[in-house]
Amino acid sequence: MKKNINFLDLGLQPLANNYINKKDLKKKEKKYRLKVGIDLKTKLVSINKPISSKIMFNNKYPYRSSMSKTMIKSFLDLSKIINKKFNPNKILEIGSNDGSFIKNFSKKKVIGIEPCSNVEKITKKMGFNTYPDYWDLKTARKIFKKNGNVDLIYSANTISHIQNLDEVFKSINIVLNDKGILIIEDPSLLECLKKNTYDQFYNEHIYVFSLIGIESILKKHNLEVFHVQNLQIHGGSNRYFIKKIDNKRKIKSSVKFTRDNEIKYGLDKISTYRQFAKRVRSSKKILKDIFDKINSKNKKIIGYGVTAKSTTILNYCKISKKLIEYFVDTTKDKQNKYTPGTKIPIYKYKGFIEKNVEFVFLGAWNFKEEIFKKEKKFIKRGGKFIIHTPTPKII
């Protein structure tokens, strides 16, 4: 039985991607207490009470990886590495979303797993072999029966969404051949703590992984990490290259380097997490003060990029529609709805920030470089961004 020591309480939170229709504004929203803890035995950091996958990932799931140029480029770059270094004949993606990764390969080569049927339909229409299923033993056996073993399994920002990690890796072992490669990409716990990005914690992110945490679970399933890439994506992520222990592929120095960095920072000690929680509480106060100060001068603030991460910030810091007039977003499924919990209107992004706006809260801070390039005119006329990481400030 997992024994989590709680270190962070982010208060009552709604479902992070549950955008509200106008007709439902007066309905009572379901909220849950978001507490985060660490199991000191496995070094896995997770939220305390995970929500059912069927509630979180359904036929109304709004996230689209194709909406970000940063993500599209990252998937394209990785596909080149995969073809050059591993040259797989058969690839499986767990959490294929709208096909931003699999579209870089021949349709004959790839299989996609995407439980959100509204998104899975997009890849089906494109002609890809995708399944609207949750990743579990039943799905793995079905894939194996129909397609046999695969040479490479890839999963970006999905494994951390699944509560039962033992079942995840048992299922992977059914499908992956003995010389096969597993690549997992998820936000880095070390970067989360360093940059104070507490918004990495929300109902879908059951885990935020460290290498030492991943290694503890892989060992049980005859798997090991042989290479780690540290990425800038999502505010700092790790890409873990994994093999079966019997596979003689050499373990690279990046593994020891990452592990040493994590232990040096103290990711195996509860005191590190308690210090982080203290910084989070301080961050909340500073951010709220910034908003209150701007509001007292009657300056207009809007939000840019409604994300699951921003749901955590807005609700934890109690930033309501009194402080943010509206959000703009490029995702169609979020437009003309309202933010979870805080009920701030979400409008379609028109390609520019309106002239009467002086301050913009960056909900999609993890794509800030991409956004800053896009918003040169706003910056040139003296527009300012509000950002919460690593310390809340006005840019």
Q: Which CATH number does the domain 5-36+298-394 belong to among 2.40.420.20, 3.40.50.720, 3.50.50.60, 3.40.30.10?
A: 3.40.50.720
CA distances from 240 to 2, 127, 156, 339, 387 (A): 24, 29, 10, 33, 29
| CA dist., res. 304 & res. 372, Å (int) | 11
| CA dist., res. 29 & res. 50, Å (int) | 17
**Residue keyed to tokens 């990764």:** 101
Among residues 117, 119, 109, 72, the alpha carbon closest in space to that of 87 is found at 109
pLDDT at 137: 97
Q: Is residue 148's pLDDT more than 50?
A: yes
181-223 confidence digits (pLDDT tens): 999 999 999 999 999 999 999 988 899 999 999 999 999 999 9
Q: Is residue 261's pLDDT more than 90?
A: yes
Q: Is residue 40's pLDDT more than 70?
A: yes
The residues, ordered by sequence, that sit 6+ positions from 24 with a Cβ below 8 Å of its Cβ are none
Is 210 in contact with 267 (CB distance < 8 Å)? Answer: yes
Each domain of the chain, given as residue ranges in start order, spans 5-36+298-394, 41-267
| CA dist., res. 365 & res. 23, Å (int) | 30
pLDDT band at residue 165 under the 50/70/90 scheme? very high
Say which residue, 373 or 118, is predicted with more confidence.
373
Identity of residue 176: L
Can the peptide bond before residue 390 be classed as cis, meaning omega within 30 degrees of 0?
Answer: yes
Kindly provide the b/e burial profile for residues 372-391, where b requires at least 16 CB atoms within 10 angstroms of the residue's own CB. eebbeebeeeebbbbbbbee
Among residues 306, 303, 371, the alpha carbon closest in space to that of 332 is found at 306
pLDDT at 125: 73
Is 94 in contact with 159 (CB distance < 8 Å)? Answer: yes
Q: Is the dihedral angle over the CA atoms 321, 326, 328, 334 positive or is it negative? A: positive
pLDDT at 66: 56
Helix, coil or strand: residue 268:
coil
96-140 confidence digits (pLDDT tens): 887 678 788 888 899 888 877 666 666 777 767 788 888 999 999
269-315 confidence digits (pLDDT tens): 999 999 999 999 999 999 999 999 999 999 999 999 999 999 999 99
Q: How is residue 209 written in tokens?
A: 């992984």
The residues, ordered by sequence, that sit 6+ positions from 283 with a Cβ below 8 Å of its Cβ are 196, 198, 388, 391, 392
58-110 confidence digits (pLDDT tens): 566 555 565 667 777 888 888 899 989 999 999 999 988 876 787 888 888 99
Q: Is residue 371's pLDDT more than 60?
A: yes
Helix, coil or strand: residue 112:
strand
Average pLDDT value for residue range 314-319: 97
Pure H helices in 220-269: 253-265
| CA dist., res. 130 & res. 113, Å (int) | 6
Q: Which CATH number does the domain 41-267 belong to among 3.30.420.40, 3.40.830.10, 3.30.540.10, 3.40.50.150?
A: 3.40.50.150
Is 243 in contact with 226 (CB distance < 8 Å)? Answer: yes
Average pLDDT value for residue range 231-241: 90
- What is residue 23's DSSP assignment? G
